[in-house]
Structure 1
């Protein structure tokens, strides 16, 4: 059956009544009706001496007028020496790369790439900043075309405590994209001066005897047992708040009075042994009715999404006790560093070993991982006794003989 006018062109009626087979419109364009009833527009053409066919879409999604226009474009490509199928494949690849270059996708790949070399807490913080602040603001932006102006706008409104890290992460993500061929080499962001200057100062910490006494008494009287216990451990061990909040029973030996923090939780990437005073052991034993047999020592409070106590619960508790701007959760480390040095006469090297501060010198790194264990056992017990005496209003004798001076 012939379904065309004398001109050889298809009509809407001819297409509607077309039976199985090929129905040509001229210039290589034809409608192929499949046994299933599906109707497909195709273009027959020759390129580099070979006959090929290009699929232009399905009818009625692609109408006759559109099919003719697409066929004309394909023939124009042929005149320029480009095969329509090659052009289509190139477009699909470009579309795929464009989708893969979306900022949230590239940022997630960057986080995965960095994770093996980062401590768990470092990765958690980076993921938090990216997922909470950067990705939502840049969700429609391609890393290929990300501009400095867009990056600056994304940084606006991020809390000052996180904005500097966010700026650094943006720079690293862009560098990663260039390495992966998703962004032109050398096209970096100009973010210097993008953030308002903030007087960082020091992390608020109680370092005056009277202030420390108030803090110790306030913590001891805090009504929520789990939060009180976590604050007490943070105060007695001088470890980072996030590490305390994620403390696991598998890391603790109550009989040996030791807490061994695994490498993945440490910035130094080395396991850290923390001696536990009698008071710290008693505090942990008091947590057994709450979390014995579970992974984490400090269980999550009501409505918390983490499987363990969230570190923000500690900050909120300090604010509720009236210490906002006076003492932060991280301030327990500064309090220990200052008070143990000035009031107990503890050697600086011993304090640094307890705080597990990273050393730039490789020899110092090795030294700090093996030294001062016995000294720190005495120091941490003296520190706990010192805090008890402060709470009770007593005096404290310096510990110079027990801890020794820097070697």
Structure 2
């Protein structure tokens, strides 16, 4: 009887239940984005196994599935492997499962860091393409470029996080990757983008949505892959319409939203901004100031960060004016008012 009870309890711990327990337990102190995205990725990729007892999953099954994912999405496969191995390792230490089916899975290759920095022509092309796109993604992309913050952080921006004079945006620790609260200076162009927007109503309450960028009034924008694809399509269309332009002035399509952060800091270095200031702008915990100095460094360089983002915004507008490919006026869709 006791053995049957133990077996029933083990069978009740399905993969779906284990993911939830891992999210509520091991990930409790993780960043909000990882706590949300890692379990969601596992549930989506292993949807057909969610009702299986976690203890019944085998290395052979995990290897076969991740090999299939690798064929099309190698980076995603490596991240799924890392999440699965971490989750089952946590469960194994608590005697919830007899072993870790991910521990002996072999992943080909390794994840390498992207080093792409947008050219001035690409910066201008992204800015112009975003200006031709309607709310929410048109102004979203422009603000992403101007603030150099992470995609999910900008997407989840709330009106309550913006200061009354629109000069700063305060991110609470629960919304950032490193769980460290962050104050972002808003340059004049960034302030103008926000000034041109009005809160979208929440259809359930009739009240204004708390989110600056939302498609439904209930939640922040998502669907970034489609948005990036649309930006690329607009960039290509605008480049094609620019007859007589040199090939070097046409935008290259091998870029990601995250590359905007690297591009901004690269340009800041050219403009004389110190690496430690750029690290503060990006909200990197470990950067140019390390070790004991980082522990005792209490100065947040707010004035210097503001100057850096102002200089970056001025640079963006400069390359748009001097070297960018301006979209035809007839195709421009104004920002939502």
- The answer as to 2:177 corresponding to 1:267 is yes
Quote the residue 1:300 is aligned against. Answer: 215
CA contact (8 A) 2:261 2:282 kept: yes
CA distance in 2, matches of 1:137, 1:200: 30
Q: 1:215 aligns with which of 123, 126, 139?
A: 126
CA contact (8 A) 2:199 2:211 kept: no
CA distance in 2, matches of 1:132, 1:365: 39
CA contact (8 A) 2:59 2:102 kept: yes
Cα distance change on mapping 1:289 and 1:165 into 2, 3 Å = closer
Alignment of 1:11-26 (within 5 A): none
Partner SS state of residue 152, structure 1: helix
CA distance in 2, matches of 1:225, 1:155: 37
Larger radius of gyration: 1
Q: 1:131 aligns with which of 34, 43, 52?
A: 43
- The answer as to 2:167 corresponding to 1:238 is no
Unmatched segments (≥5 aa) in structure 2: 202-206, 237-250, 325-337
CA distance in 1, matches of 2:227, 2:100: 39
Quote the residue 1:6 is aligned against. Answer: none
Partner SS state of residue 60, structure 2: helix
Quote the residue 1:337 is aligned against. Answer: 265
CA contact (8 A) 2:117 2:266 kept: no
CA contact (8 A) 2:162 2:168 kept: yes
Quote the residue 1:316 is aligned against. Answer: 229
- The answer as to 2:94 corresponding to 1:183 is no
CA contact (8 A) 2:28 2:35 kept: no
Quote the residue 1:252 is aligned against. Answer: 162
Quote the residue 1:327 is aligned against. Answer: 255
Partner SS state of residue 383, structure 1: helix
Quote the residue 2:61 is aligned against. Answer: 150
For residue 347 of structure 1, report the CA deviation from its aligned partner: 1.0
- The answer as to 2:193 corresponding to 1:286 is no
Higher RCO (CA 8 Å, separation ≥ 6 residues): 2
For residue 365 of structure 1, report the CA deviation from its aligned partner: 5.0
Number of matched residues?
298
Q: 2:318 aligns with which of 384, 389, 396?
A: 389
CA contact (8 A) 1:247 1:297 kept: yes
Q: 1:354 aligns with which of 258, 281, 289?
A: 281
Quote the residue 1:174 is aligned against. Answer: 88
For residue 283 of structure 1, report the CA deviation from its aligned partner: 0.4
CA contact (8 A) 1:205 1:334 kept: yes
CA distance in 2, matches of 1:200, 1:319: 23
CA contact (8 A) 2:163 2:169 kept: yes
Quote the residue 2:6 is aligned against. Answer: 93
Unmatched segments (≥5 aa) in structure 1: 1-86, 396-407
Partner SS state of residue 326, structure 1: coil
CA contact (8 A) 2:10 2:53 kept: no
Cα distance change on mapping 1:224 and 1:367 into 2, 3 Å = farther
CA distance in 1, matches of 2:92, 2:105: 23
Deviation by residue 1:353-405 (Cα, 9 ceiling, x = unmatched): 1011132856455566632110011111111111111111179xxxxxxxxxx
Quote the residue 1:78 is aligned against. Answer: none
Cα distance change on mapping 1:331 and 1:268 into 2, 3 Å = same
Partner SS state of residue 236, structure 1: helix
CA distance in 2, matches of 1:373, 1:190: 44
Cα distance change on mapping 1:248 and 1:365 into 2, 3 Å = farther
Cα distance change on mapping 1:165 and 1:329 into 2, 3 Å = same
Higher strand share: 1
TM-score, normalising length from structure 1? 0.66
CA distance in 2, matches of 1:369, 1:311: 38
